[in-house]
Structures are given as structure tokens and as C-alpha cells.
Structure 1
Amino acid sequence: MSNDFPLRKIIHVDMDAFYASVEQLDDPNLRGKPIAVGGSSERGVVSAASYEARKYGVRSAMSSVVAKRNCPELIFVKARFDRYKEISKQIRAIFFDYTDLVEPLSLDEAYLDVTTNKKGNPSATLIAQEIRKRILEETGLNASAGISINKFVAKVASDINKPNGQKTVNPEEVLAFLEDLEIRKFYGVGKVTADKMYHLGIFTGKDLKSKSEEFLETNFGKSGKYYFNVVRGIHTSPVKPHRIPKSVGAERTFNENLSSEIFMLERLEHIANELERRLQKSKIAGKTVTLKIKYSDFTLNTRSKTLPYFISDKRLIIETAKELLYQDKLQNSVRLLGISLANLNTEKKEHPKSENETVSFQLKFDF
């Protein structure tokens, strides 16, 4: 066993149904009622759902038509991102009272490294409790938290006692916690991957841990090594205060489904224009162009091409996107198109760990 892996005190803070909770906070008439943030039209999509709505199976990214069918009493509220950003800034200001090592993942969640913190408090558990208490007092909103030795375990733990709760996974508890965990609750395992794992007899972390690295890489490609490591508590990624994006993209959902590539070309031009604007604003270029196609039945298709040079010019982006569009026949009419650029000039290569390294959590580390 090796103790080379850093043991950190990581907190993952996740606001509870953030967008919906903000709407209920600002409008008392919405409190206790099932609400969905998003468009109520036939083309609308749910951006967020209150816990009252979730009881009926309403989820983010669900079509508004299906959401309303699941919950006839559902109230749709238009998104107010300026308001969400305003409150998000308040919440981050609280985080920075405890540590400068804050990595936002979105407006409503972030990682905090409190191994060494501004309060001199050795207990990450108590810090998380204090942060959640302050968020409630200063914004009127509830937050949940996960606390553990790395970002992966903290992220998984924050879901355990939601809403308005927290879960600490102590160093000596990590391996047992991951072994008992249902595979669909592993961060990074989506529905498609979970279904594939079920067919391979992988239902829990213990099942996953029984598979060799070779087996996992054969069945899941590069992700196989990730699964092999995280189920053993190995996740060495530090909290990065200035998170560098791995991709930049733009997309559009259309009022009417598009059934011909000809109609899509004009839309792709607009999307490429927006992508170029974002790239230039951030002074970013990339090599891998990905075309995202969402069909009218909500199935998703992505097509990618990696170029031998960095690009950020819309003419080169649209040229590659057109090539990808005509790469395969359309399977159905299209409701959404998107273009993203990855393999960016901001990425730094990391030195891989030895394949034989493992981890021990026998160190005394007070959480």
C-alpha cells in the first residue's frame, strides 16, 4: 500500500433546486407548489424543477409537454439568470471567507479545499455546517454538502442527504462507502453507461472493483481507467480556483423541427458566429470540432473531427461542421444543433500516475 496520494479536506457544496428555489424565495405564492423553470410551450424544456415537482418525476432537460403530463398542476416560471448570478456571487463570497481554493462548477455548486483554511478550523465537517448556515441566513436558500478526501467522493456524498443535509465520508470509510454505492450514483456514470454496466453484471461499487483495469478499458475505453481508480478512492485532481474550460460551444433549439440539411446550414452559420465570439472573447482556439444533433425524439448524436492545427475562425469552424453534418444521413427531424470546440490551446498535459499505485487511508486525519 502507498500513501503517496494527497489526503485533502474537500467540501462539495450544492444548492438545493437552485433556480426553482430562487423563484420560490422571491415569490411567496410559489412556495410549496410544484414549479418548473423553463418554457411552457410545446418546444419548451425544463431547466430546473422544485422538489415538489420532482415528486411527480419532473426533471431538468425534460420536455415541458412531458413535464406537464407528469404533473398537471405544474407551474412554469421563466428563467431569470441575472438574478441567479446575483445570488451565486453572494454564495461564493461566503466560500472565500473560508478558503481561496474555490472551484465553481456552475452557478449552484462548487468545490472547496479547506485542508488549510482561513478560520484555522481543523474540521471540514464543521466548516461545511457553518457555510450552509450562513448561506441560509444571508440568502434564504438551503444548500447540501459532501465532505471527504477528494473531489469525487465529496461530490457523490453531497447527494446522499439532499435536500438541506450533508454527508461526511471519513478517510477510513471511503473504500466501504464506494463499495456499497449503487453504480448509477457514481459521478461520471450516466444512464447509458449505467445500463451498459448492468448488462456486464456491475450494479455496485463492489462489482465495479472486482473488474480488472483491462476489462474496464476494453468495455469503456479511456473512461475504464477512471472507473478503475475512483472505486478505489483514487482521484488526485486538485481544487482549481481558475478552472480552465475543456471545451467551448454554442447551440440552438428551433421553434420548428428541421428535416433537411439545407435548412440547417443557415442555422449552423449563426451558431458558428456565436462560437467565434465566445472564443475571441476568451482568446481560445481548439483542434477538435464536435457537431451536436438532437432529434425530435430527443435522441442525441455527436460527430467529431480533430484538425492538425488550432482554429477559432468561424469560416474554418463552419467548414468542418458542414463536413460533419453530411458525414451520415439524418435519422429524424432535428430540434437542436450545436457546435463545440475542444482540445484547446489552454490545456496542459498531466503526468500520469504509475498503474501500480494504490492508496491507503490509514493515516490519522480528523474530519
Structure 2
Amino acid sequence: MTAPRPADPAELPLATEEILISRTDARGIIESGNSVFRRVCGHDWDRLLGAPHKLIRHPDMPAGVYHLFWAELNAGRTVGAYVKNRTADGRHYWVFAVAMPAPEGFVSIRMKPTSPMLDRIRPLYATLRRRETEEALTPDASHAALCAALGAWGHDSYRAFMACALEAEFTARAEAMGRGLEARVRRGRSLGQAIAAARRNAAEITRLFEDIRGVPTNIRILAAQLERGGGPIGVISTNHTTLSEEMLTGVNDFRAAAEHTGRSIEEGIFRSCALALLQEVADSYLGDAGLPAAIDPPRETRLLRDLAARGQLESDAAMAAIATQAEHFAKVAKGVKRHVAGLDVTRIMCKIENARLSDTTSGLSEIIDTLEEVQSRIAVQLAEIERASRAILSGTRRGGHLHVA
């Protein structure tokens, strides 16, 4: 496949199917790489091997991104980021880089970004770099500013963003190359969509609940006007207050469970895509004719295969954990449904009492109408949550693995 010519003449064209790989020691000194990496960066092997990886660092890259990158790696976690690198002749190229701990160092796999996400990252990086220069923003502060900007885009954390970004890039690459997504990636996407929908539904239930939060107070005021202490309407008001608070607690528990499960699924999607790239490139060393004698293709292949095998084993245990989370998630969802059913009973009782009383209780009729409308809308959201819950349980119980870092 021929690499398309970029709009910027200073940008080096990359082909979509190309994957760059390099391996460093724990200090970031380059020990190995493939011939795609050497050709793209433009340095000869005798310049690359033994050099720090920052040899290809572009001055436009925010220090905060590298600060985050190394913090994740040093904590033993696989990490991904958009990176602008510099070639030996002063040009540049963009990649989405996935780096992971390896024996006595790190492995970095990089592919050409083709999703629309890069168009949002370019100006964000430029802003961060300008602030680092003009405001003397420290790497740590730049890292915080990056996370704040991503939060404004709707990502709960940097890891949530990188999972979303890698999924977008992995999917766009597969489509551009005319091939389907692997089963584990498709499953991860499906689970991610289900949990995202459930979280939106739970947030809407919370908002709707706020619309009827003052109902018990209004009922108590009417009860005081219509009944002599301890009448049926007063009892209904007390019951409604208790059930409402229980329901809100249940919804909050559900949102916490959904958030926890969502983070695990995001990590799973990221790991699935990263592992697929690792497996794709593992055997490429064996047929790479452009390697110097200092690089041992069988050794590099074994190392990458071992990394993939270790990731597979770790994912088996992680998948079981996600299944357990999904079961808890479904259990909490059922609890919310029971609370809503209880609220329906109090509404019906209120309706019965209103029918028994005189026409002077029109205020109660309005309250009943409000309850009926809001609770019917809550029921719709709850039905969507149940559907998502079933999809998540089904997805975690099917064969295959969802890889989780």
C-alpha cells in the first residue's frame, strides 16, 4: 500500500499498514527495532542502536505527555498516546504509540493515526507546548492540564481517553485495510457501548428523581390541611420519602458499579487492541531483511510472543473479575427496579385516596399527575438499564477473552 502524501510537506508519509516497533532498556536506550522504524526515522542503525529514544523526540511535543507516559510505564502499566516524532532530516510524522513493560526494559509499537481524533489532539498539544514555554508550565502541571482538557471532552481519566483513542485508531486502520475487527475487540466495543448507555440512563434517572424530590413535602402539606394527624395521605407521604431515599441510594450504588465496570471494560478494550498489534508484529522480525547483525530476529520474535502469551494469561483472570463485576452490576440494577416498583405502589395509593376525598384536593391530583409522568419516564430508563445489564452479562459469559491490563 502506498502512503498518501500529507498536506504538510514537512510531514513524512506513512502507510496505514506499517507498524513501527522498537525496544529499549529500562533507561530508554534503544536496543532493537524493525526496519520500518529505521526507515521512517531516517537514522542509520549505527546511530540508532545504543542511542536514547529521545533521539526522535520532536520539540513540538508537550513535556506533560512524556511525563504521563513514563509515569505509567514505571508503574508497570501499558500506556498509549499520540506522539509527534522528528526524522533525521528535520521532517516529522505522527503515530499512536503503545508502550509496555518488557523484560529489562520496554517495547513500543506505533501505527499511523487515521481517525478524526488526531485533528483534536494537534491543537491541544500546541496549546500545552505554548503554555510550557510562555508560562513555564512544569511537566506535572502540563500533565494535569492535559487531563483537564480531556475531561472537558468527556473522558473521566487519561486512561479512559487512551482506550477510546486506540479503539478509534485500531478500528479506522482495520477499515482502511479492508479487514474486520478481531472477535475480542468487537466484544469489547459491544460491552463498552452497553456500559456507556447504562451510565447515561442512570444519570437520567438521578435527574428525574430530582424532579420529584419535593413531592413528599407537598403531600405532607396537603395531609395537614385535609387530615387530622396520622391519616392515610400522611402515611403515604412518609412511605414515599423512605422509598425515594432508598431508590436514590440504589441508583448511586448502580452508578458506582457501572463506573467501576466501565473502567475495567475500557482497560479491556485498550489491552485487546494493543495485544492484537503485538501479535501482528511479533513474527515480522523473521522476514525482515533490513536488520543489522546486532539484532537477533528469533530472539526478538520470542520476546514479543512471550509478552503476548503473558498478556493472554493475565486477561483470563481479568475476564473472570469483569464477569463478577457484571453480576454485581445486574444485581444492583434489579434493586433499583424494586425501589421503583415501591414508588409505583405509593403513587397508586395516593390516587386511591384522592378519589375518596372531595374536590378540594385538586392539589393532590396535580402531584399524582407529576408522579405518574416522572415515574413512567424512570421506568423507560430502567428498562434500558436492564437491557444493557443483560448485554453485559451475556458478553462476559461468552467464549473468548477480553484483555485487561
Scaled to the shorter chain, the TM-score interval is under 0.3
Comparing both structures, which one devotes a greater share of its residues to strand?
A: 1
**Bigger radius of gyration, 1 or 2?**
2
- The TM-score normalised by the length of structure 2 is 0.20
